[in-house]
Amino acid sequence: MRSLVLGCAAVAAFGALVAGPGAAAADPTTADRAAAEAAALARDGKFAAAAGKFREAWQADKLRPELFCNIGISFYKARDLVRAHLLLGQCLEQAALDPKFVDAARSALASVEGVLRSAGHTPVRIAVEPVASAVAITELDPDGSFLGSRVVWLPFGRFHIAAHAEGYIDAAEEVTTASQEPKTVTITLHRAPGPPGPIDHGQGSGPGPGPGPIDQPVPEAPASPPGRLPAYVATGVTAVALGVAVVAYVEAHSHADLGATALDSDTLQADRDAVSTWNTTMGVAGAFAIAGAAASGYLWYRALHGVQVEVHPAPGGGGVSLSGRF
Report the predicted TM-score, pTM, of the whole model to 2 decimal places: 0.51
Answer yes or no: are the C-beta atoms of 81 and 112 closer than 8 Å: yes
- pLDDT means over runs of 10, the chain (326 residues): 38 40 72 94 93 92 83 90 88 68 74 83 91 89 82 91 93 91 93 71 48 51 61 80 81 74 72 82 84 77 60 54 51
* pLDDT for 201: 53
DSSP, collapsed to helix, strand or coil, labels residue 193 as: coil
Count Cα atoms within 13 angstroms, Cβ side, for 142: 10
Contact residues for 300 (Cβ-Cβ < 8 A; gap 6+)? 228, 231, 235
Q: How many CB atoms lie within 10 A of CB 201?
A: 10
Tell me: cis bond preceding 211? Omega within 30 of 0 counts.
no
